[in-house]
Structure formats: structure tokens, C-alpha cells
Amino acid sequence: MPIKSSRRTAIKSLSTLGGAVALKGLSLPAYGASKKPVRLGVIADLHGGLAVDAMQRLDAFLAAMEAAQPDALVQLGDFAFPNAKHQVYADKFNAAHKETIHVIGNHEFDFGLSRQDCYQAWSIQNSYYRQDLDDIRILVLDGNDTGSPTHKGGYPSYIGTQQLDWLKAELEQAAKPLLILCHQPLAGRSAINNATEIQQLLGKYHSKILLCLNGHSHVDSFHKIGDVPYLHINSASYYWVGGEIRMTYYQDPLFTLVTIDPESRSIEIAGVESQWKDRSPKAIGYFDRENAPPKASSPLKSEHVTSFSSIQKQIQDRARADQQSHQAPPPRIRRLRPNHERLRDYRFPVFLSVLIGVIRGQAIWTIDRDFSRFSTLNVRNPLL
């Protein structure tokens, strides 16, 4: 069934977005006098030239963003092959907003393509760079460097010495809150080869960092390491299963709105719901094959969600552990959308639900990875 991209559909899609990440407590550089919220429309792993309906998905995303009116559009890599045949993807994306941010993914190097091809196709000057957006500074990283001492074949996944030196200097001199973007994860599943080194560096400057966003893994996932939050954004198009089927598509394009609000000292991260377009990975026996991913590492194992009470128990267990380490009073556990009854009926691919309790500004992060694509993500974190 074709994906509709009318303005009416876009507005209806946006009506499902919700949830907030409230960042409080830590001392950050002056945020400026305007106190104006900054909104980003984010899409990851569209795979123009590979996904059969990538153009329709891009059109739907851009129609939704026309309705949402964010301050910038961000593509987190594996966007479209940067060649003449697929130039229309970049042209549409760049024409849709005066502020566009491009991150280079590993598939931008397919068919012998290079960074220079990305520069020309996307109208960018470098593969890693900074870009100020009102009172936010965005650092874009390039996780495709060669030279990793632990590289075991396949696409490079590394931040090299030259880029690392640049990142250190940017972190040191930053006088604005930082949003860090990279195609490859800096933490969690499919993280870059030198992820531990990067995490340790970012941890030293955690009071300056709002959030790290990545694509690549084609799942929604959340990690908090060294007081730095890391969020994986799912593919707009599909989950890779290989074999003859290769890709299991989502019915609707998946994308995210990120709103940073200095006045309320919060970040709101909202995504779009969907379901499998045809058969799910479970339905095709993806988890019954030889060398299948273990349940603990796969967010796609179950097409049903666990009960709300089990998530609450995870929150409470984490709260007790944090209480002991921080000597804080018991947290307030809030029941957040989606509600208990609705959770029973979810059949959506790769859903992430984050439910948070607060201990005197200390974040409690809990994730249930057996959900499908997130419709809301609610986190309270001591930042801003």
C-alpha cells in the first residue's frame, strides 16, 4: 500500500507525537536571553536507492515537517547514495528548510562513493563540523574513519585521531549546550570501535552535553553512560534481516521531533507509530535461524509487550539502587503514556518505551526493548 504524504496525513501523524525529556539540575553555560525553544525534525537511515519506497517516505517526512515547522531538519546518515541518480533526495531535503544538517553514514560510501561526493551532493564543507542553532551548538561527527586497530572487516566504524583532537577542542571551548550527532552509535548496539574512548571523553564534559543522537542500528535504544545520554533513532524504512527477504519494511515512515526548551528546562523527543508492512522478523522465522541473535540483545524477539507492572518494577529497582548510591529519598514513579491498557494492543516494530522516576535531579533510565517503534519517550534528566 503506498504511503500517503498529504498535509492532512502529516498533521494526523504528528498528533501521535508526545512525551518529554525534562533536563534539570546541572550548571550549564548561559543559554542566551531569548529562551526560545529549538525544534529539530530528525530522520535516520532512509536508504534512498536501496529501500524501494524511500522517496515516498521522504515526502511523508517533509510534509510532516512542513506542518510541524521545526527550526532545522536533520538526516542522521544512510540517507541516499550521493550520486547524480539519487541527487533528488538531497535537493528535496535541502529545499524543504533553510537550516539542514547532514550526517554521513556508512552506505554513503557504497559503489565507490566518497566524502567528496557527499560534500557536492549535500552542499556541506566537511564530514565533521559544528553548527549553531540559536543557543544550541550541534557537533556533527563522522564515524567512518579508517585506522581502527580493532577493525575486523566490513564498513569502518571509528573516530580517528585528527577528528578526536577536533572533538576535544570543541568540547573544551563550547560555551553553549551541545547536541552531538553521529551516524554510528557512540554507545550500545553496533557502537564504533573506539566507543569506550569517546564515552570517557564525553563524560568529562557531561555538564555541557544535552544528548547524543545516532542512527545506523535500525532500532530505538537508550543508554546513559558517564552522565551522558545516548539515543538511537530507528530507520525511517526497514529492519534488515538478510537472506532472500533482506528487509522487513515498516508500514509508515518513522521519524522524530526533538524540542529543546530552555524556558521549561526540558527536551521533548517524540516519534511516529507504525507497524510491519508485510510480515515481521518473527513471522519469517528470523529468530529461529542458526546463529540468531539472543533474546537479550534483540528488541524484535517479541511482537507483544511486557506488562506495565514489570516496567514499573524495573524503575523501582533502579530507583532503590540510585537511592543507595546518592543517599536520596525514594523517587516519585509517574505513570506515563502510553497507558497500561494501550500497551496490551501494541504490535509495532522496534518500540522503545522509557519510563522515569526522579531522585533529586538524578535520572533513572529504564528501557523495555520488547516494544515496537516509540510513540512517546519520557525521561527526566538533570541537565540545562
Give pLDDT, residue 269. 82
Give pLDDT, residue 31. 59
pLDDT tens-digit profile of 246-258? Answer: 999 999 999 999 9
pLDDT tier, 237 (very low <50, low <70, confident <90, very high otherwise): very high
Give pLDDT, residue 275. 87
Q: Is 129 exposed, middle or buried (0-12, 13-18, 19+ CB in 10 A)?
A: middle
Query: CB within 8 A of 35, min separation 6: which ones?
Result: 262, 263
Mean pLDDT in residue range 119-133: 97
Name the grid cell of 139: 557537533
Query: CB within 8 A of 294, min separation 6: which ones?
Result: none
202 vs 323, higher pLDDT: 202
pLDDT tens-digit profile of 92-115? Answer: 999 999 999 999 999 999 999 999
Backbone angles phi, psi at 230, to 5 degrees: -125, 125
Mean pLDDT of the chain: 75
pLDDT tens-digit profile of 183-234? Answer: 999 999 999 999 999 999 999 999 999 999 999 999 888 888 999 999 899 9
Is residue 364 predicted with pLDDT exceeding 80? no
Is residue 74 predicted with pLDDT exceeding 80? yes
Domain residue extents for the chain: 7-298+377-381
Is residue 66 predicted with pLDDT exceeding 50? yes
pLDDT tens-digit profile of 249-298? Answer: 999 999 999 998 877 777 888 888 788 888 888 888 887 776 666 544 44
The answer to whether residues 46 and 249 touch, using CB atoms and an 8 Å cutoff, is no
CATH class of 7-298+377-381: alpha beta
Name the grid cell of 320: 532503590
Cell 521522504 locates to 58
Q: How far apart are CA 384 and CA 209, in angstroms?
A: 9
Comparing C-alpha atoms, which of 37, 211, 20 is closest to residue 135? Answer: 37
Residue 225 Cα distances to 79, 106, 206, 207, 228, angstroms = 28, 25, 10, 13, 5
Instruction: Tell me the pairing of strands 256-261 and 38-43.
Output: antiparallel
